[in-house]
Each structure stands twice: as structure tokens, then as C-alpha cells.
Amino acid sequence: MRVGIDSSYGGWNAPVDPDSLEFAYVPIPEEDEQKPIRPGYQKSYYPFEKSCRRFEILFPERLLAKNAHLDPDFEHLTYGDTNQKGAQIRKLVEDDIIAFYASLKIPKSHLNRLLYAIIGLYVVEKVVSASDVNKEDWDKNAHTRRLFDDTDYVVFAKRDLSGRLKQCIPIGEWRNRAYRVRKDLLDIWGELSAHNGYIQRSARIPSIGNSLEFYKWFNRQEVPLVQTNY
């Protein structure tokens, strides 16, 4: 699942340190006027601006005037989606895996290249319709913080096995005029449903050919998971 702010959604890329692989998670802005946020459920960009300061970059002032579409919410271990992608995630069952990846920018680099990397992982506990989420849990996901409809679904993940990565895991390379998963990883994972490992934004969520081998590979990276957004 591709997540986080980028040139298409928000007009910016969150930073990453290419040496330590520490990164800042910055979500996309809330811009769906058909599904306004409920009063009191807004999420500010200021905490994300603070988490970016250690990278010594200039956080876009225009984002501070917007609300963040905080999804996935790594504190509450939820992820929501709607319409076609909502229909895809509703088919997930307990112990299925969602790997979250983002396009990150190396600050002060003279190269116009992005670092595509895994930034989080969920082991699914359950998937529910947004309409079945209790009101006291509405603040746990972006799709219940706003007005939802019957196309909105929310994933809840298992706490001991899920979270945001402390360091990202690079997976991408520039190949055949697009960003794609590296060929050595495709050999391990059993390819992707997306043609030739394509991982730029698309209408459908790409699926991993061999999720068990992917999960074994992921665990071999030994990167700690944390349950926080910042």
C-alpha cells in the first residue's frame, strides 16, 4: 500500500536520511469535500512539522494551514480506504499482511531521485465497515473522523506484530522509465501483481506473489516496529 505525502498528493515528499534510514512519516492532506471532517476530529500538520526538523529541511508553510489525512494511523494501528481500494481491503482476513511504502526525498541532494521504501507493516486483526466502528473509536482512523459512506472500510491491526518502522527499508529503483521494486526482491517475493514491479501511484493496490516469503524476508531485516506516527 503506497501511503504518505508526495508530488501528486500534497506536492511534497517527506525526508529520509540515506545513511541511518531514519525518516519522517507525513500523511497526505484532507481534500475530500464530499466527506468533511467531523468537528473536533481534525488532525494538524504541526506534529509532523516538528518530526521533520531533525532533517534540517523547510516544511511547507501551506501544509500547516491544512488538515492531515492521518492514514495509516500507526498509533492506533488502523488503515482505511474507500471506493475501489476500499473494496480491495474489505477482502482481507485475519493474519493477512499490509506493507506500507512511501516515496521519500533525501534532503539537500543534488540528484532528482526518490527513495522508495517500506515504512510500516500491519498484520491484520479484522476489517470492518466504517459504519460498524463504534463512535468511541471514530478518532482512531481518518475514514471515521470524517463523514463516511458504505464504501469506506477500516483495517485494525495486531498490536504486537504491527506498526511504523524505526528505519525504512529501501525497495525501489528507477527502471524502464518508472520506479519499480528491485529485481532481486521480486525474485524473493514472487513478483507483484503490478507489471514489472511498478510501485508508482495506481488505481489498484498491488499484491505480493508469495506473501509468506515476503514476511520471512521482512523479519530478516530486523527493523523494530513502533506504534507512533512521529
Distance in angstroms between the alpha carbons of the first and the last residue of the chain: 19
Please state, in angstroms and rounded to a whole number, the distance separating the CA atoms of residues 136 and 213. 38
Helix ranges (H only) for 33-192 are: 46-52, 83-89, 142-145, 183-189
Half-sphere exposure of 131 (CA within 13 A, CB side): 5
Hey, is 152 helix, strand or coil?
A: coil
Residue 110 has a pLDDT of 73
Please state, in angstroms and rounded to a whole number, the distance separating the CA atoms of residues 159 and 124. 10
Q: Which three cell numbers stand for residue 110?
A: 543534488
Please state, in angstroms and rounded to a whole number, the distance separating the CA atoms of residues 227 and 159. 8
Quick check: 118 and 168 in contact, CB under 8 A? yes
- pTM of the shown model: 0.96
Domain ranges of the chain: 28-226
Give Cβ neighbours of residue 101 (< 8 Å, ≥ 6 apart): 1, 2, 3, 116, 117, 118, 119, 171, 172, 199
Residue 113 has a pLDDT of 87
DSSP state of 180: E
Hey, is 41 helix, strand or coil?
A: coil
Give Cβ neighbours of residue 120 (< 8 Å, ≥ 6 apart): 3, 25, 72, 74, 99, 100, 162, 163, 164, 165, 225
Residue 201 has a pLDDT of 84
Q: Residue-wise pLDDT tens for the chain (230 aa)?
A: 999 999 999 999 999 999 999 999 999 999 988 899 999 999 999 999 999 999 999 999 999 999 999 999 999 999 999 999 999 999 999 999 999 999 999 998 877 789 999 999 999 999 999 999 999 999 999 999 999 999 999 999 999 999 999 999 999 999 999 999 999 999 999 989 999 999 998 888 999 999 999 999 999 999 999 999 99
Question: What single-letter amino acid sits at 113?
Answer: R
Pairing verdict, β 225-226 and 114-129: unpaired
Largest CA distance in the chain: 48
Residue 202 has a pLDDT of 82
